[in-house]
Structure 1
Amino acid sequence: MKPTLSDNKQFIIQAFKPHLGLLGIWFIFLIVGGFFTYLGTKIDDNGIAFIIFGCVFMILASAFMLFTLPSSFMYYYEQAKIKKYGSYTSARIINKRIDNYTHKTSSFNSRQPKHINEFLYVIEFEFIYNNQVYKNECFFEHQSTFETISLDTELPIKFLKTNPKNTTLRRRKLSNQLGITEKMCR
């Protein structure tokens, strides 16, 4: 099951949509850097400083984009692929854990630091495809949803037959199964 050229084009478009704002900001950085570089070529005194600043400005912005975009782009590409070609199954929960990201904020003025509680609710699951066990995990924002899901709950998932490691949780189906709103199942 190989995606057609038109499907790949659609997947690429769907992967670029969440990044349009970031690409626009990158374009603005390139324009500003180009402006400083151009300005440096027109100034007789200390023009080289403007040229260097403009080039460094464009290089740093481009390096940041080239460092962050590929993994994010591939994530959204795979999600679009799973949505189109994925197969449905149920997964068995093997572990539940809470990752604690609690921290204190610091401030430069005399105010007291704030204590911020942040938790990530993780459910590890496994499913069998072609007599092979595949493991993955999903994340939840809400503690009440995490507590509603027991170790006996069957998680509805969607996976790619060509790469079963790529799975996504069917959150709408899970919310209907648990009797909670879809918003609480994020």
Structure 2
Amino acid sequence: MYAKSLGDDGAELRPLTPWHAEEFLTHVDRGREYVGRYVGLPDAVTDLASSRAYLRSYAERAAAGTGRIDGIWVDDVLVGGVLFRTMDLSLGLAEAGCWLEPSATGRGLVTRAARVIIDWAVHERGVHRVEWRAATGNTASTAVAERLGFTREGVLRQSYPHRGERHDIEVWSVLAPEWRG
């Protein structure tokens, strides 16, 4: 397993695997309401079995080359993560995403972590287009996409049903030549 430093503040990016299930559940519980405002992760991870199943699904995606999930640790405490929700290497497409518990916001952790996985996807896996999708109200997530140099392509109106409400989803993307530049 690897750990990639994200700077001088004790932050690291590491793979999240099924054996992290208990730690992952504890982390999700700490940020359940905050993260759950726009992201379905807290609704999918509600107990140890669902935490293990969620991480197992990403281990299977990583093995198949169709996705991956990495955690962000600060001083050995899991505080968030980045992922490729989908990845189609034959088409050169991937959709990146993120989440962060409230105690870790405002430090640039997601931006730094996303930069690492996007570098990997473009340089190591040959991905040509990386998408970033976020609910219009999720300004923290869209700000990450903007800081990373993504282009806002448009809005999928009321396309994301979440907790009884339909959300507009902004679609952002960066192409490999732009990323490399």
TM-score in terms of structure 1 length: 0.21
Q: Which has the larger radius of gyration?
A: 1
Question: Which is strand-richer, 1 or 2?
Answer: 2
